[in-house]
Amino acid sequence: MTAFALDSDDVAWCAELRALTADRLRPLAEKAEPGRVNRPLVAALGELGLLRRLFPDGGTVRALDLCLLRESLAQECTEAETALALQGLGASPVLQSGTEEQRARWLPEVTAGRAVAAFALSEPDAGSDAAALTLAAEPDGAGGWRLSGEKCWISNAPEADFATVFARTGEAPGARGVTAFLVPADRPGLSGEHLDMLSPHPIGTLVFDGVPVSRDDVLGEPGHGFGVAMRTLNLFRPSVGAFAIGMAQAALDAALEHAATRTAFGGPLKDLQSVSHRLADLATRVEAARLLVYAAAAAYDAGAPGIAKRAAMAKLLATETAQEAVDAAVQIHGARALRRGHLLEHLYREVRAPRIYEGATEVQRTIIARELYR
């Protein structure tokens, strides 16, 4: 398989995923309360074996498989895609850097859909500049630490059963003084609240008031937590682009159908050159972004050089293209697309966040520019 084409098995698998999502997962998403963890949906992802795809045989998922999963689910149900991705994001540090005991305790629960995971990196004043985080891990005199501070914009917070938490232990300034901890939700001093956001997926804060953690809770080595975070984000960053492409394709499909059936000025909208040319441009950009995402994922899987640049390019183009595709589809539909409950109204709210999280568009451009001069 080249980096620019899927084989027949992958194509068939994606079609199966879309059908399964529409039939089994979308109804569960539609019944849920927006902004809250949908545990029946997470459980269904486990029962259908989709979460196990994130941790095949205890190993790390292929980046391309992760992209195909996220794109296929997003095309039919963004809530299902997000629930799956958040399980992977929160638990991947446990797989990559956890002890045998940590993996045995949490990974079976995550893959079965019984435990909900969170990835707690961002803070009120440390988002895109993740190395600037200030959550303090103060030595407790008994070989452990007490966590004090706040995490913000954390998906699945505060309902997650455990979180991968990044705190400053102070071995060195900047990124070199950060440690990753596995923190169960029942630790004393840990609280949080939901945040009411534009998009409907669960997000909130985590507040640490002297939360106790020990050496047994460390993921990897003290002072090396930033590497734990970056290894996770390097795997997941191209797949954010895949999520965006799934939304872009759903919006494009809706626009194509509407333009073929909606009559105006004596004929279907598709016969208006302004509309047909807009659709042609969008289809071209969506396909170009998709191929860039696949190429970045294939390069990651092959261990090729320049992964940071490829991943940044893929996320940049895919998320910006998705925003454009959804906006154009809304314009072609007119006011009906903005009615609460319409697919495009839903996508319009969902598509905005991926241009910010896991490195905002501006950060991706900075990474690309830096890599060009490396």
The tokens for 65 are 């498989």
| CA angle, residues 245, 249, 254, in degrees to nearest 5 | 150
Cβ distance 174 to 224 under 8 Å? no
- Residue 333, burial from CB neighbour count under 10 angstroms (0-12, 13-18, 19+): buried
**CA separation for the pair 348, 9 (Å, rounded):** 32
Cβ distance 136 to 147 under 8 Å? yes
**CA separation for the pair 307, 304 (Å, rounded):** 7
The tokens for 4 are 């620019």
Within 8 A by CB and 6+ apart from 295, the residues are: 3, 4, 310, 314
Cβ distance 291 to 275 under 8 Å? no
Residue with the two structure tokens 């902004």: 35
The tokens for 299 are 């390069």
How many C-beta atoms lie closer than 10 Å to residue 56's C-beta?
12
Residue among 106, 130, 110 nearest 120 (CA): 130
Residue among 195, 214, 212, 213 nearest 204 (CA): 195
Helices 63-76 and 225-261, packing angle to 10 deg: 40
Residue among 249, 259, 235, 297 nearest 88 (CA): 235
**Which member of 71, 81, 350, 358 is catalytic?**
358
3-state secondary structure of 158: coil
Q: Is 371 among the residues known to form the active site?
A: no
Active-site residue list: 358
